[in-house]
Structure 1
Amino acid sequence: MNDNYVGKPAFSLSLLHPKYWGVWFGFGLLALIVNILPYFILLKLGRSLGKLGNLIGKKRVSIARRNLELAFPNKTDVEIEAFVDENLKNTGMALMETGITWFWPTWRFKRILVDKDTEVLKRLKKENRGILFCGVHALNLEVTARALAVLGMAGYGAYRPHSNPAYEFIQYRGRTRNNNKLIYRTDMKKMVRVLKKGELFFYLPDQDYGHHRSVFVPFFAVEETCTTTGTSILAYTSKSAIVPGSGFRNSNGKYEIIANEDIEPNYPKKDPEAAAAYMNKYVEKIILRAPEQWLWLHKRYKSLPDETKTNSRYL
């Protein structure tokens, strides 16, 4: 695979300027912690950190609570609060999962993976078919991306470089472990190009990206949810397979990698609205495998069909 889709940031002495010392110290400490502590301790530590969310991230907590009320209107207040509490614990664990993904050696990383069902991916790779892997913003997203590469299915991911050059230097290397590659998130031509070459492209169609290239279709209990049409654009122009997949952590603390169907044959890619609604059903199915591990802290329902109206969903 070509290494030049996103330029690998080079090291320079300017990265050692005192203004970047905080970044180096923070990531250095994280790398040390995840490499010297046993995994079961990291799991407890991460989830304990998440408990601080109610104290230091009250606004985000209220967003998560409101998202859940909108998505699952039949849940009681008690059920919602228990859901939010578990979601916060998993949010804290996401910090440890980032460190694990970026700094663990491959032999150790493999120990926490369960290849539960990826036969479809393996078959498509053997056929040199382009694969649009549609994942979700799970809190353990970093783990899932590297897991695919470790299991022999390295690919490309959409990427937004960090504005802090020291952070970017570390982040890039963390996200390109085991031969994964990166493409600027706005460069759809290169996304289509790698799919046509028979590569895997990791795509996330589950957030509210605003009105550009979006339609309003059902998502859980909200009938008009801003949903990207990027999936249908990529699928139609590349003629690739479309495989929804996930990598959620199970009750034993291991990450189950599932990508067990190619939905392309029945996917209405020529109809953007029908395609978005179709994909949302699969996104819901993925999230429901472990809903407490999804990014409910994001304002999933922030956009309305009429941009001139005030969104009362979060008032």
Structure 2
Amino acid sequence: MDKSLLKPKYWGLWIIIWIAKILVNTLPYSVLMRIALGIGFLAKPLLKKRQQIAITNLKIAFPDKSDQEIEKLANESYKSASMAGFESLISWFMSKKNFNKIPFDNDLKTFDQIHYDKDKTLLVLGFHFHCLEIAGRYIGEHYSPFTVMYQYHKNPLMEHIITSSRKKYVTECFQRKNIISVIKSLKRKVSMWYAPDQDFKEHVVFAPFFGKLCTTLTVTPWLAKKTGSTVIPAYYIRKPNFSGYSIITGDPITFTGDDFEDAKLTNKILEDIIKKHPEQYLWQHRRYKTRPPGEEKIY
């Protein structure tokens, strides 16, 4: 660990991390989730901007819903996002013994077939549903070797905590721009997970997402072709009443070789998944931030 992370400016965060480690290994899972909801309720007045972003996104995605229905869905999404914070802490700090008590009811048939086939490479097309971190730990602990691609955190201490914690249950964490290492790993037949559904600026095309153009990565089909990987979609949902999680994988995706058509295809796959559990998707992200030339800002 870099000794600079022990400087006084990080002490407050270190204390929070220390408390979090105690909590997730002392309290039952259901109690932790209720605490998360309570903290989320108290913090909501401070997060009005994120709530408005969610409402804007939901109005684009579901134009037929009334303002009251949109607000209700935004509130449900906020509650889900509140629990996601504690789910990350559980993923990073909870002991394996306690983590294994959390129920998972999964459909990983396609995942199993490709991951265990020595002649194939698996590239999991994940998406930003709120419980992705806890699903990632489950996959990492049950399928090895397994790697993830991620976005570097701007806070050096958080970057250290997140990557060092993830490396306890995944083989390697690759920064998004470290594409050479990503390619080498996939060519060694090591399964990989990554989520491309964010507002990126490079290697993108504008493709429709719920009828509105947004920047969409072209990297997925390129990586698949470059490394001979089989790409499957995956999503993960939180079950009602703190009863655990489900991880579901779909059939392999066949790309066309056309950047726009392939981007449209991946967005359509995500749309269909979101419609099943809209409250658990990360609507708080400014997915439509970058606009085509000449278009007005949305946020």
Say yes or no: TM over 0.5: yes
SS at match of 2:251: coil
Alignment of 1:270-309 (within 5 A): 270-306=257-293, 308-309=294-295
Determine the structure 2 residue equivalent to 1:5.
none
The 3-state SS of whatever aligns with 1:242 is: strand
Letter in 1 for 2:237: F
Q: In structure 2, what residue type is equivalent to 1:42? A: L
Code of the residue aligned with 2:277 in structure 1: it is A
Change (3 A) 1:111 1:85: same
Counterpart residue number, 1:167: 158
Q: Distance in 2 between matches of 1:53 and 1:64?
A: 16
Distance 1:227 1:70 in 2: 17
User: Which residue does the alignment assign to 1:180?
Assistant: 171
Post-superposition offset of 1:34: 1.6
Q: Counterpart in 1 of 2:112?
A: 122
Residue in structure 1 matching 2:217, options 224, 228, 239 = 228
Tell me the CA shift for residue 29 of structure 1. 1.2
Over 3 Å counting, the alpha-carbon distance change for 1:51 and 1:68 in structure 2 is same
Corresponding residue SS for 1:245 = strand
User: Partners of 1:271 and 1:19 in 2: how far apart?
Assistant: 49
Question: Which has the larger displacement, 160-169 or 21-30?
Answer: 160-169
Contact persistence 2:144–2:170 (CA under 8 A): no
Correspondence for 1:112: 102
Letter in 1 for 2:251: E
- Deviation string 1:122-152 (CA, Å, 9 cap, x unpaired) is 1112212211101111122211211111222
- The C-alpha deviation readout for 1:156-190, integer Å capped at 9, x for no partner, is 11234444443333222222222331112112222
Q: Deviations over 1:21-41 (max 9, x none)?
A: 111101111111221111111
Aligned ranges for residues 60-99 of structure 1 at < 5 Å?
60-99=50-89
Map 1:1-315; keep pairs closer than 5 Å.
10=1, 12=3, 14-128=4-118, 129-210=120-201, 212-222=202-212, 224-253=213-242, 254-263=244-253, 266-268=254-256, 270-306=257-293, 308-311=294-297, 313-314=298-299
- The amino acid across from 2:91 in the alignment is T
Q: Percent identity?
A: 34
SS at match of 2:70: helix
TM-score by length of 1: 0.88
Amino acid at match of 1:288: K
Q: How many equivalent pairs are there?
A: 297
Distance 1:161 1:226 in 2: 19
Cα distance between partner residues in 2 of 1:285 and 1:206: 14
Q: Give ranges in structure 2 of 5+ residues lacking alignment.
A: none
The AA in structure 1 aligned to 2:22 is L
Alpha-carbon distance in structure 1 between the residues aligned to 2:214 and 2:264: 10
User: Aligned to 1:178, what secondary structure does the other structure show?
Assistant: coil
TM-score, normalisation: structure 2: 0.93
Aligned mates of 1:53, 1:87 — CA distance in 2: 14
Does the 8 Å CA contact 1:73/1:221 hold for their aligned counterparts?
no
- SS of the residue corresponding to residue 179 of structure 1 reads coil
Q: Mean alpha-carbon deviation: is it higher for 293-302 or for 180-189?
A: 180-189
Contact 1:133–1:200 (CA under 8 A) maintained in structure 2 = yes
Letter in 1 for 2:85: L
Distance 2:16 2:30 in 1: 22
Mapped contact 1:132–1:202 kept (Cα < 8 A)? yes
Write the deviation string for residues 59-85 of structure 1: whole angstroms up to 9, x where unpaired.
111111000001110011111111111
1:134–1:203 Cα contact (<8 Å) kept: yes
| RMSD value, Cα | 1.8
